[in-house]
């Protein structure tokens, strides 16, 4: 993927966005997604109804003028060393590249600021590394000349992990890893592959397909995020039930630090090494070094992929179904439960039906509301994706349907299941589209025990409405949970939260303030600080509530041992305070 295929600052591909037509319908441009290419008449009415505001479609929010960046400050001896390694043409100091590489995708603290105001600190130099040897030389030169290095993968972080420390006075060099993107080796007999860490999820799967295998790690960001970024944030994917979270997928890791390479000399299925150095890479968030390479598990490509969907009468019923399915040990590759608001939002994103579709839709609605007595403002849906051999998929399908019938579920069918699964890739585009009409929003994820799911959801909903009223915000807030990953002892919940900020002063700052309050609400009611987005700077202030003081000291001591001069000075997690 070339840098010009992506938006500079918003999410996604530059040929893909939601646009309003004169008839108030919306179209998703391009041809990359199933949502693309048809008019969507229901989205604007749904948004106006759910937020209880009227969008001013004739006056989209004006983007800020491109900021005038300060002249880059590059330590002269370091620059000379870089020219020897990379040549002048690969040392980028133009304003566009510096700004692109100085933020991630956190709504209020980064995207909103760069689009509608400005950001505090930009990097001085951008370098695209192409070999592992270049990485080692770069780290050596930065150590010799006291330069701050920041690893950059796909730029998809939503935890402010890429937000540069505003008080960093040294030269900041952002190192783009995406040209370090080769598959070094595929071992089909042992089902593993050695892969450079700058490869994106989409490129990884495309290249592995030539060998007849796949990785299966599918985060919402897989088109843009990288293998190194997945490791650095301890990521999870939509199909983790079948293929595992990133810590289960990765067999060994190479990370270059100022003290040298951290790696296991041989990559084996499992070893007992005492304190395993590779564990330092997971969740390292750019604090320790460059993740350059990993050995990952791969799998034969599935013979069958099948989608399905279920509709339940309410959230509580859907949650209990998910719990019982988890206990039955027949989880499909992916199963996600969306609440009523997201169920209705999915309907709002459909094209205008033809006469036949309209008749079928009415019949389905009558069956749900008249026969099954489902309340249209309470019913929820589960989207299902099964992969494997025909026998595996058939067995999962039969067991899921058998259990679903005990909960009075209605089968929604494969097309709705596939549609719900694929809608995930459009969420960030919708966020940026609504930003232009002064609705600001973001997702928060957390891990919750089974017995706290309802409590956490109700507490977040209640607190969001209280804060909305406290600040006198227009309309009502959008607060909507979905269960995305399931475990033996609990689940991952994604909350989508947003509100109209029309006429609100400093909406980005206010959103960030409300988000912090809601994060505390999640913690107070038994949820985790993060399930897979990581800590970054966004959640660093809460770390003393989730790990002990001695644990925090241990992490800081590891940092001092691996990087005594703080060359990797991005300052995330418990190390954020070092840059305050």
Active-site amino acid positions: 494
Residues 313 and 320: their CA atoms lie apart, in Å, by 12
Per-residue tokens: 228: 């190194």
Query: How far is Cα 357 from Cα 362, in angstroms, rounded to an integer?
Result: 9
Please name the helix (run of DSSP H) or strand (run of DSSP E) that holds residue 550, with its range, or none.
helix 549-562
What are the backbone angles phi and psi of residue 327, rounded to the nearest 5°? -65, -30
Tokens at 176, concatenated:
């783009």
Q: How far apart are CA 178 and CA 226, in angstroms?
A: 8
| CB neighbour class for 309 (10 Å; exposed up to 12, middle 13-18, buried from 19) | buried
Residues 6 or more apart whose CB falls under 8 angstroms from that of 485 comprise: 236, 240, 241, 491, 492, 531
Give the span between the Cα atoms of 337 and 309, in whole angstroms: 10
Q: How many angstroms separate the CA atoms of 185 and 182, rounded?
A: 9
Provide CB contacts within 8 A for 462, sequence distance 6+: none
Q: What is the rounded CA–CA span in Å between residue 247 and residue 107?
A: 27
Asked if residue 466 lies in contact with residue 553, where contact means CB atoms within 8 angstroms, the answer is no
Query: What angle do helix axes 507-524 and 453-470 make, rounded to 10 degrees?
Result: 150
Q: For residue 93, with 0-12 CB atoms within 10 Å meaning exposed, 13-18 middle and 19 or more buried, which class applies?
A: middle
Coil vs helix vs strand at 564 = coil
SS (H, E, C) 214-258: ECCCCCCCCCCCEHHHHHHHCCCCCCHHHHCCHHHHEEEEEEEEC
Please, what is the Cα angle at 513 between 508 and 515, to 5 degrees?
Answer: 95
Tokens of 359: 């008749």
Give 60's contacts (C-beta < 8 A, 6+ positions apart): 436, 437
Residues comprising the chain, all counted = 580
H helices of 87-211, where? 95-100, 112-116, 132-145, 201-209
**Three-state secondary structure call for residue 474:** coil
For residue 452, the cross-strand partners are none
Phi/psi region, residue 566 (left: phi>0; alpha: psi -120 to 50; beta: rest), is left
As a whole number of angstroms, the distance between CA 429 and CA 406 comes to: 37
């Amino acid at each position: 993927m070339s840098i010009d295929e992506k938006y500079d600052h918003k999410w996604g591909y530059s040929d893909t966005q939601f646009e309003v037509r004169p008839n108030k319908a919306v179209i998703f441009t391009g041809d990359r997604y199933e949502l693309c290419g048809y008019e969507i008449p229901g989205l604007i009415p749904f948004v106006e109804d759910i937020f209880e505001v009227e969008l001013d479609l004739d006056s989209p929010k004006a983007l800020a003028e491109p900021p005038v960046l300060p002249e880059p400050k590059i330590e002269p001896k370091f620059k000379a060393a870089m020219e020897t390694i990379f040549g002048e043409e690969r040392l980028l100091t133009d304003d566009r590249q510096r700004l692109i590489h100085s933020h991630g995708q956190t709504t209020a603290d980064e995207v909103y600021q760069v689009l509608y105001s400005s950001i505090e600190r930009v990097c001085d130099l951008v370098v695209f590394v192409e070999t592992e040897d270049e990485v080692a030389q770069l780290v050596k030169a930065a150590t010799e000349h006291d330069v701050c290095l920041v690893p950059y993968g796909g730029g998809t972080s939503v935890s402010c992990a890429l937000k540069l420390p505003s008080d960093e006075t040294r030269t900041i060099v952002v190192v783009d890893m995406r040209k370090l993107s080769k598959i070094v080796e595929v071992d089909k007999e042992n089902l593993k592959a050695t892969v450079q860490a700058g490869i994106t999820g989409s490129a990884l799967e495309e290249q592995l397909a030539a060998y007849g295998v796949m990785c299966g790690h599918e985060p919402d960001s897989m088109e843009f995020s990288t293998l190194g970024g997945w490791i650095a944030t301890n990521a999870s994917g939509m199909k983790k039930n079948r293929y595992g979270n990133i810590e289960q997928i990765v067999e060994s890791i190479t990370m270059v630090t100022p003290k040298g390479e951290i790696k296991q000399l041989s990559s084996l299925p499992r070893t007992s090494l005492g304190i395993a150095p590779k564990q330092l890479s997971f969740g390292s968030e750019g604090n320790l070094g460059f993740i350059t390479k990993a050995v990952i598990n791969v799998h034969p490509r599935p013979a069958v992929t099948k989608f399905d969907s279920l509709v339940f009468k309410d959230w509580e019923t859907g949650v209990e179904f998910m719990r019982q399915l988890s206990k039955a040990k027949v989880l499909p590759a992916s199963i996600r439960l969306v609440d009523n608001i997201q169920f209705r939002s999915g309907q709002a994103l459909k094209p205008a039906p033809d006469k036949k579709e309209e008749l079928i839709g009415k019949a389905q609605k009558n069956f749900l509301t008249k026969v099954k007595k489902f309340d249209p403002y309470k019913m929820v849906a589960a989207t299902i994706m099964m992969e494997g051999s025909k026998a595996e998929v058939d067995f999962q399908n039969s067991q899921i349907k058998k259990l679903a019938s005990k909960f009075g579920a209605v089968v929604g069918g494969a097309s709705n299941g596939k549609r719900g699964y694929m809608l995930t890739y459009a969420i960030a585009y919708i966020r940026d589209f609504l930003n232009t009409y002064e609705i600001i929003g973001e997702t928060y994820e957390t891990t919750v025990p089974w017995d706290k799911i309802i409590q956490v959801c109700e507490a977040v909903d209640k607190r969001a409405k209280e804060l909305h009223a406290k600040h006198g915000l227009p309309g009502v807030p959008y607060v909507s949970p979905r269960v995305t990953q399931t475990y033996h002892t609990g689940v991952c919940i994604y909350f989508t939260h947003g509100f109209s900020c029309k006429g609100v002063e400093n909406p980005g700052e206010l959103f960030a303030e409300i988000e912090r309050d809601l994060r505390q609400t999640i913690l107070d009611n038994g949820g985790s600080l993060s399930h897979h987005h990581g800590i970054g700077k966004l959640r660093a202030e809460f770390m003393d509530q989730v790990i002990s003081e001695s644990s925090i000291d241990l992490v800081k001591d590891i940092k001092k041992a691996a990087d005594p001069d703080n060359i990797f000075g991005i300052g995330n997690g418990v190390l954020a305070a070092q840059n305050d």
